[in-house]
Structure 1
Amino acid sequence: MITTNDFKKGMRYEHENAPWQIMEHTVHNPSARGAATLVKVKARNLVTGQVLQKSFKSGDTFEEPDLAKLKVQFLYEEGTDLVFMDQETYEQYDVPKEKLGNSVDWMTDGFELDLLQYNGEIINIELPSSVIGVISSVEPGAKGDTASGKVFSKALLENGIQVMVPTFIKEGNKVKIDPSTNEYLGREN
């Protein structure tokens, strides 16, 4: 059992027969005597992707969702589905592209990620926190604040994803990218 006292960012709980993940939470102590302490939560439904703000009384309890995380590797595209293989059991899973959103762009042969299952059904994927990509082309840098080094250029990775990189990054360089935001994190040696 999980109570509102256990809530923290990233925690998952079950509410209204759906798994939710906390994005933000605050505790609100009203000044009136006898008023209940409220816990305000901004959470994302892991099945639908819907984000809601909810308020709960301090001490409310919730079940832990029946979630399983599978380490998988992308194999190939088949029609409207992407096929992944569990790295431990070698079982294959077909996942509709529509469930993956913009994450589909990162799927290249051998790409490793986590599939999230809820009650045995695949509901979502979790990309790694950083991915190594190779720059295939870079546009010339624009004029900017060169004193602070905040001059960026548009670059294209080998998988076709566009990212903004510092002007010292050249074609063929390996870079570390956050796949959830396509943000440049650093150069990879």
Structure 2
Amino acid sequence: MVKIIASGVRKGNVIEHEDGKLYVVLKAESMHPGKGTPTTTIDMRRISDGIKTVVRYKTVDTLERAFVETIMHTYLYQDGEQYVFMNPESFEQISLSSDMVGDFAPYLQEGMECQIALFNGSPISIEIPQRIVLEIVETEPAIKNQTASSSFKPALLSNGVRTMVPPHIVSGTRIVVATEDGSYVERAKD
């Protein structure tokens, strides 16, 4: 563990809070008022159970920063509530709970490379590619003379997620989707 001052905390850092538990930083903002003490507000999520909290520190307060090892893993398969990944170098397999995978679960594809953060050998978080290619399974047919660029129509993707797509997209089209929120990015180039 390394001590850092509160104003040095950045998004993605893992810190050990006063309660002895590990938290991942979601947002850190420093405020320097004209009068008074400069403060840093940190939004963070407890890794063990996902509870979010907001804490305000003086910018010179020290926090314990945990060193997290991030290793590339390949997604293999889902086994009930567990998602199994493999380290392509050591061939060790690691299982993540559905709570840890969270909203990324529908976007996992066999063979997908993901970054898994490990603390003392235990997985604490996962990061998947920001964009993936999926196929449209079902959508309304294109309507003639509908050229308004702001109009979107609902579509069902091959992973079961619903999204909004432009009117010219038809069933069977492969599109690029943002994994953060499932939104349409562009038509796939393949």
Q: TM-score, normalised by structure 1?
A: 0.83
1:137-179: CA deviations, max 9, x gaps? 222469xx954x1111111222222211111222222211111
Give the corresponding residue for 2:29: 26
The answer to whether the 8 A contact 2:67-2:119 is kept is yes
Q: What is the identity, as a one-letter code, of the residue corresponding to 2:176?
A: K
Give the corresponding residue for 1:128: 129
> Are 2:7 and 1:5 aligned?
yes
Aligned pairs for 1:131-170 (under 5 A) are 131-140=132-141, 146-147=147-148, 149-170=149-170
Q: What is the identity, as a one-letter code, of the residue corresponding to 1:178?
A: A
Give the SS at the match of 1:159: coil
Q: Are the structure 2 counterparts of residues 60 and 170 from structure 1 closer, same or farther at C-alpha, using a change threshold of 3 Å?
A: same
Alignment RMSD: 2.3
Which shows bigger deviation, 85-94 or 98-107?
98-107
Give the corresponding residue for 2:112: 111
- Measured in 2, the distance between the counterparts of 1:102 and 1:27 equals 29
* Structure 1 portions without partners, runs of 5+: none
- Measured in 2, the distance between the counterparts of 1:129 and 1:92 equals 23
Q: What is the identity, as a one-letter code, of the residue corresponding to 1:8?
A: R
Aligned pair count reads 184
Q: What is the identity, as a one-letter code, of the residue corresponding to 2:44?
A: A
Give the corresponding residue for 1:67: 68
Give the corresponding residue for 1:56: 57
The answer to whether the 8 A contact 1:141-1:151 is kept is no
* Structure 2 portions without partners, runs of 5+: none
Identity of aligned residues (%): 27
Which shows bigger deviation, 6-15 or 156-165?
6-15
Give the SS at the match of 1:100: helix
- Measured in 1, the distance between the counterparts of 2:28 and 2:95 equals 35
The answer to whether the 8 A contact 2:11-2:27 is kept is yes
Deviation at 1:135, TM superposition (A): 1.6
